[in-house]
Amino acid sequence: MIETGAIFEALSTVLTPYMMLWLVTGVVIGIVVGAIPGVGSVLGMSIVLPLTIPFGGTEANILLISIFSGAMYGSSISAIILRVPGTAAAAATLLDGYPITERGEPRYALALSAVSSALGGSLTMILLFLLIPFLTPLVLLFGSPQIFLVSIFGILMIGMIASQGSFVKGFTAGMFGILIMTIGLAPATPGTRFTLDSMLLYNGLDFVVILIGMFAIGEMLRASDVKATDLTDVTNGGSVFEGIRTSIKNYYLLIKSGLIGMGIGAIPGAGSSASNFFSYAEAVRSSSNPEEFGTGKAEGVIAAEASNNGTVAGSIMPVIAFGVPGSAATAVLLAGFILHGITPGPDLFGDQLDFTYSLIFALLLGNVLILFAGLTIVPYVGQYISNLRMDVIIPVVVVLSTIGAYTMRTNWIDLLTIFVFGVMAYYMYRYDYSVIAMVIGAVLASVIEVNLNRTLVLGDWSPIIFLESPVSIAIIVIMGSFILLPFLQNRS
């Protein structure tokens, strides 16, 4: 049953001038950071996250989720103009987007991207809105035992997928993320752990600071050798109106690709890069002229970009329902939830349902803003955003990250934390260990520990409690199958 009271409360919240200001700000920041190669939504959200401390939970998370949505579209700008995707989410977009630019029609390609992103994102958000009443009974089946198991399963899935199928590397990274968060006072007992008798460590390490270090400092170390691209030969031509017409003409492909993006986005660890290529491959498969893809075919851009923003709806589903992020960006979003005292799960489908609807309405309005900006502003200034020099971006990001990390708790240990974990992230990338799994392990550590402790107390410290619910047994069976499947495939 649709809760009309929560819907009207959410609309009255989102449509206020104050909330619209943060929505517009988030979308603009998202488009800009998405358009700059090597930056993207994760870095943008990580830098902004500590700055939201003075905000309320709703405006803070609307700002973060708007950056996420805006960056998903923004990453296509550099893919189309420079043949360098702003993030992996637009990797398939460049296959046909850049050849259109080479023909001298970048405005046409950018219009295709804007319309496809906005309509694909809007369609999936409407579908998510309609699914909320059906998700509520499912979420209410999950208590402490199930939340603990789902959290562990999410780390395993993300770690394994992001580490190119290596169960050991993914599991190690995720468990290390949990381990480092055990430093300091225990949440369920009065004892301290691993503090080395230092008062600086009594409050432990801050997961937001770890997140900033690994996603901001670590990413800047990786991006330090990226050079600016010469745009003197780019002809800024093409018809924006033709791009609109072509996108609407291919409405079936747009809808199908958006739904594919939503479905894959809901799988922890799959993310937008997987949905991007999956939708592109499906467009090639179903086309009557598959040989034309890769030469500047409009359908290639439409399929990739519709799935891109469709992924946003799918990826926030496991976050709001179970508190399990499916990607790096949703890990930052979950950190925003926790930072502002918002607990994912049954509360977001009950007493705080208006907050859930506020996020959905904010994303719907954000897609309208993406459409407006993508058709009126980006086709004329996009190439200059994408060509910002990394030797300017890197010091700005490092300074903002350092200030943001220190202001979290004004604890000097946080300054050491961001740089230690930044260097760690750099080497983890080099040796194919999952940075995402480690960060998600750190973010979920308190959720895992609190729910494990609560479960064991309820079960009189017997692990049999994990086998007393059909839901728990189903999760354990699925988790076991997921772990054993690669070993069975290698044997065969």
**How large is the average pLDDT for residues 33-62?**
87
**How large is the average pLDDT for residues 256-271?**
80
**Which of the pair, 190 or 432, is modelled with greater confidence?**
432
**How large is the average pLDDT for residues 277-293?**
85
Q: Is residue 102 pLDDT above 90, yes or no?
A: no
- pTM, 2 dp: 0.82
**Which of the pair, 85 or 111, is modelled with greater confidence?**
111
**How large is the average pLDDT for residues 147-168?**
73
Band (pLDDT 50/70/90 cuts) for residue 492 is: low
Q: Is residue 234 pLDDT above 60, yes or no?
A: no
Q: What is the pLDDT of residue 382?
A: 67
Q: What is the pLDDT of residue 448?
A: 87
| Least-confidence region, from 54-63, 228-237, 360-369, 460-469 | 228-237
Q: What is the pLDDT of residue 232?
A: 46
Q: What is the pLDDT of residue 226?
A: 54
Q: Is residue 368 pLDDT above 80, yes or no?
A: yes
**How large is the average pLDDT for residues 216-237?**
66
| Least-confidence region, from 39-43, 110-114, 200-204, 382-386 | 382-386
Q: Is residue 245 pLDDT above 90, yes or no?
A: yes
Cβ neighbours of residue 236 closer than 8 Å, sequence gap 6 or more: 106, 107, 379, 380, 383
Q: What is the pLDDT of residue 347?
A: 83
| Average of per-residue pLDDT values in the chain | 84
Q: Is residue 421 pLDDT above 90, yes or no?
A: yes
Q: Is residue 268 pLDDT above 90, yes or no?
A: no
Report which listed range, 21-25, 32-36, 154-158, is most confident: 21-25
Q: Is residue 2 pLDDT above 90, yes or no?
A: no
- For the segment 454-478, what is each residue's pLDDT rounded down to a tens digit? 898 888 888 899 988 898 999 899 8
